[in-house]
Structure 1
């Protein structure tokens, strides 16, 4: 029996019996006590909650009941899981950063030797880039847990203190957003997480039950309220830059000479990012409308002009 198979059967066995002794396991799996002790140590690293008891009736036991899944993956499925985990590493902030690192470690340690070797060979052959990941969001976990537990929070948002009730989190253009009910404005609002400087639990008598509220429904509601038609003219150089740096979220048409036109719709939350993006494209992009985006670009250019006077 290979080590990987033995570890898998061992964790299923101890989860079933709950309490056991090393000698019993050695006899059951026909290996030495030393091997069993090493296996138990590896299972503990992988997250199996074991405690030892001293004395004549001592031994080991599972601290609490766990759902230890025995799941086998094909090579392609294993690669898919690894790539999915790899895609998260470029986020400066995640709701559960320490847990993410623990999952990576457990996933890798649970692979057999051959699969570890293949992962080692290919992990430098693929990478993911998340645009505009320039802001840390240290409060993501608190916001996410408040959404899960239907809690109200007080936050300091751009210096203004207000009570909110988070619905969930989503990331767009490398920034995290938290759609929430705002008790100050008496409506659902979209909050940029990197602009929240302080946070705490708020006790309200008028707290709503938003557990069943769907995040995507709220996002669509907010988008419908604040949506603008986008029309941008691109030079041939601008077309190439746009195609290489931005996912094809907005429709682009290209004429016979290579000039392009971007058409689509954008929400208010995208204004700041798109203003920065089209400014860095220089003369290769001209925003025709919305006028709100043109105004944001002009404001940023003016601020730069004042800075360098």
Structure 2
């Protein structure tokens, strides 16, 4: 079965390549090929430098019984919610049934236990599902490499813009769908739930040569995190506050605190990156008396101002 699946996914392969991949001897490959011939599998081999073993064209479908859409949906089998979002929920169910029927009883029992005892819930805590009514249409444009006209709501003026995009890929991050697309000059990211209207155009486009969606997304996240922090703050934390600090901040801030920690008379002095004075003020106030701001002066003054306002409300 492993040999058949290799030939199905990779096409023509030499006996040596098959032996290396399966970690067996070439003699074992010859013996297995003879067994497959005896079983009626349409497998043939060509001699010569460019030769090798290959399945007869058309045998691929008969091997599994899967339809094209069901085979595509297997890549999302671990994320049933994502598959349903893309309109592939029924295809995933059908594919899983066919695979289950094809497994030996011992493996079928193991697969059943796996489904019963492990569940993947990708969205973060306190996540509210956001509607993305144009997701299937956007996915179709991505798949068919067709231009996509969208009306998009953004956070800066003008709030609504209409653009024609070259959709390159969809990314599911923390339960939210994002479209990576090439605009007039650069590749940008669009939150699918913010698309107010969409229309797939007849015109197709050529994807940028060598474009790697996963690599682009990783680089985008790194760039976002680099631009996210605009300054630094020096703070003192009680021992208790230092131990719980990581649960109040982003991982990058927690790492900076760990790396810069210096004992300060029983407290711990750290230097951390901050997004803005306003954001840092909220972070400090959440920790109450377990933290003191040393710098910058603007942040210390802002915290002092808020504390005075609170005191005027709660103290007689």
Higher Cα Rg, which structure: 2
TM-score normalised by the chain length of structure 1: 0.47
Indicate the structure with greater helix content.
2
